[in-house]
Amino acid sequence: MPRFCANLGFLFTEVPFLDRFERAARAGFTGVEYMSPYDYPAAELARRLRDNGLQQVLFNLPSGDWATGERGLAALPGREAEFRDGVERAIDYACELGCTQVNALAGVPRPGLRPQEIRLTLLGNLRHAASRLAEAGIRLLVEPINSRIDMPGFCIDTPKKALSLIESVAEPNLWLQYDVYHAQIMEGNLARTLEANLERIAHIQVADVPGRHEPGSGEINYPYLFALLDRLGYAGWVGCEYRPQAGSEAGLGWLKGVAPAPAMPRAEALAAG
């Protein structure tokens, strides 16, 4: 079955952020992802990863002022210099954390901008980021996010749009981040999309619909999709980016039927030895 990593922005939120690394490891995860590392020193995050035997799987490029509604900078005309500075900052963090892929959120352009201006800005920024990150050995991902519920106005809101964008950017280091939750809301046709485009998909995230809760809580047939990923030979990570219905640990029961038994936590392993 796929390798599952814990999204620390969604799971183990019962404790402060830096304590979530230990919670993830104790739950059997070997990888973690989260939106933004930039509020913490990279050395401290690296220590948490190392102390808990975790791999940093993914984080985002700087996404602007989240508190005021910004949801990424890549498609915002006039913010190109800030976007490029963010690429350099992400490279510094990725190198410190041993992370080999980062995600670029396209953003919510302000009303009144011409679509062509938005598109040219997005193409230029992604070409720059893909090339610069390739020099550092880091993949650039782009993620479509649904504009119906979670991010109204988000300019790349379907896998179809994201795949077209990847083709237009024409950089080998640009990949699709496929979030099953967002894709189901906007397009559906999940299995066929995975089958047709797996060679461009570098990372997958999961949550069920409706509610964005754990797999098995809604309408998506996740056992079928996970088995399909195995048949297709998907070798990447699957990020658990969902809101637990009844606590993080309690909400992990769905993993028992689809994933190998987690490794014994380090403390128990030492005691057993």
Question: What mean pLDDT do residues 232-254 have?
Answer: 96
- What is the extent of the structural domain holding 266? 3-272
Percent of the chain with pLDDT over 90: 93
As a whole number of angstroms, the distance between CA 31 and CA 33 comes to 7
- 70 as an active site residue: the answer is no
Domain count, the chain: 1
Query: Checking phi first, is residue 161 left (phi over 0); if not, alpha (psi -120 to 50) or beta?
Result: alpha
Task: Round the average pLDDT of the chain to a whole number and report it.
Answer: 94
Tokens read off for 208: 């069920």
Q: H or E element: which one contains 104? A: strand 101-104
Between CA 82 and CA 20 the distance in angstroms is 30
Using CA atoms, how far apart are residues 101 and 140, in angstroms rounded to an integer?
6
pLDDT of 75 strictly over 60: yes
222-234 confidence digits (pLDDT tens): 999 999 999 999 9
Residue 257's pLDDT is what? 72
- Determine the average pLDDT of the residues in 28-37: 98
CA-based end-to-end distance of the chain: 28
Kindly state the average pLDDT of the residues 21-38: 98
Q: In this predicted structure, what is the pLDDT of residue 266?
A: 42
Poorest-pLDDT segment among 66-70, 100-104, 137-141, 180-184:
66-70
Provide the β-strand partners of residue 175: 141
Proportion of the chain above pLDDT 70, given as a percent: 95
CA angle centred on 39, ends 35 and 45, rounded to 5°: 80
Q: Which of 33, 143, 171, 214 is catalytic?
A: 143
Confidence of residue 259 (pLDDT cuts 50, 70, 90): low
- Can you tell me whether residue 33 is helix, strand or coil? strand
- Cis check: omega of the bond before 210, within 30 degrees of 0: yes
Q: What CATH number does the domain containing 21 carry?
A: 3.20.20.150
Given 33, 171, 214, 241, the catalytic residue? 241
Nearest to 173 by CA among 143, 203, 135: 135
Within 10 angstroms of residue 186's Cβ, the number of other Cβ atoms is 18
- Here the tokens at position 76 are 């915002």
pLDDT at residue number 264: 40
For residue 270, is pLDDT > 70?
no
Structure tokens belonging to residue 134:
């390739």
- 249 tagged catalytic: no
Q: Which residues contact 271 (CB under 8 A, 6 or more apart)?
A: none
Question: Which backbone phi and psi does 213 adopt, to 5 degrees?
Answer: -95, -170
Is 260 a residue whose pLDDT tops 80? no
